[in-house]
Amino acid sequence: MVKFGVHLFLWAERFDLPALKLIKKAKDIGFDGVEIPLMELDVIDVEKAKKELKRQDIVGLGSMGLPLNLDIASSDEATRERGIEHMKRSIEVTSELGGDSINGVVYTAWGKITGKPRTEAEWNYSVESLKKICRYADKYGVTLGLEPVNRFETYFLNTAADAVKLAKAVGEPNIKVHLDTFHMNIEEKNFYQPIKDTGSMLWHMHCCENDRSIAGTGHIDWDGVFQALSEINYDRWIVVESFTQDMEKIAASTAIWRQMAPSADALASEGLKFLKKMTKKYLGK
């Protein structure tokens, strides 16, 4: 059955103790789960977070955008090894919090731009690193979701087809694809076909408007999105991922230069309302 989540970047830049109150906020709005950023593991109090997730009866999912010093596709072996170790610890934390997946830019450094296409060597480094990470994750029941993002955030994976190609190259059962309508709006020819072609490899969905405002208020082809989800019998997470200027570091990373909605709460609640309506229409849930 489809479940609805929200990325905590909407309200907080890291998952520290003050951010724990956001779990209840997400539950009160009507979400079933929260995406937890795992870039800064040292600020996460796993025991307290676990208790709060259980208290609110809400699921914690891992979210990752690997920084440059943890790039698992780097030509520098030490950098790759640091990235692999960080991912292993992230897997442990996700499992301890009761989550079954880490989704996002887990295949290279998020925001890394070289000015040219990926190389065969970078591809092979990523495949090799992901194999090691997936085999470790399998012990914890955790799956990785590869998120292709737009050309201004990476040159490595931009399309659903490329994400499927990378997942197949890794060849482990616990590596899948994570699609995001914001990035698809830039990189894909349409919304229906990439979702349909990804099929059973689709593990996670970010449903965001074309300008990262409230879902349903822009020009995303939501009928195409949900028709495809219906045809592949998608039954996992639909997640609101939007950002505001209040989160300065995240706003800078994602180029949020103007107010996208009346408030972060409006982005969450109004977006959820729209996505639930579309889910009911197409998936009958």
The pLDDT value recorded for residue 225 is 98
39, amino acid identity: M
The pLDDT value recorded for residue 184 is 98
Contacts of 138 (CB under 8 A, 6+ apart): 172, 173, 174
Rounded Cα distance between 151 and 250, Å, is: 18
- C-alpha count within 13 angstroms, C-beta hemisphere, residue 226: 21
DSSP state for residue 33 in the 8-state scheme:
E
Going from N- to C-terminal start, the domains of the chain cover: 3-283
Tell me the sheet residues that pair with 34.
6, 60
Tell me the sheet residues that pair with 115.
none
The pLDDT value recorded for residue 253 is 67
As a CATH number, domain 3-283 is 3.20.20.150
59, amino acid identity: V
Rounded Cα distance between 265 and 261, Å, is: 9
In which residue ranges of the chain is pLDDT below 70? 243-248, 250-253, 255-258, 285
* Of the candidates 60, 82, 88, 85, the residue with the CA atom closest to the CA atom of residue 70: 82
From residue 186, alpha-carbon distances to 11, 151, 215 in Å are 25, 8, 16
**Coil, helix or strand at residue 59:** strand
The pLDDT value recorded for residue 182 is 96
Rounded Cα distance between 171 and 247, Å, is: 37
- Encode pLDDT of 139-197 as tens digits: 999 999 999 999 999 999 999 999 999 999 999 999 999 999 999 999 999 999 999 99
Find the length of the chain: 285
Rounded Cα distance between 151 and 167, Å, is: 19
Contacts of 285 (CB under 8 A, 6+ apart): 1, 2, 279
The pLDDT value recorded for residue 256 is 60
Q: Say if CB 273 and CB 39 are below 8 A apart.
A: no
Look at strands 3-7 and 175-180 and give their pairing: unpaired
- Encode pLDDT of 20-31 as tens digits: 999 999 999 999
Look at strands 237-240 and 202-206 and give their pairing: parallel
Rounded Cα distance between 225 and 184, Å, is: 10
> How is residue 244 written in tokens?
């505001």
> How is residue 154 written in tokens?
């990476």
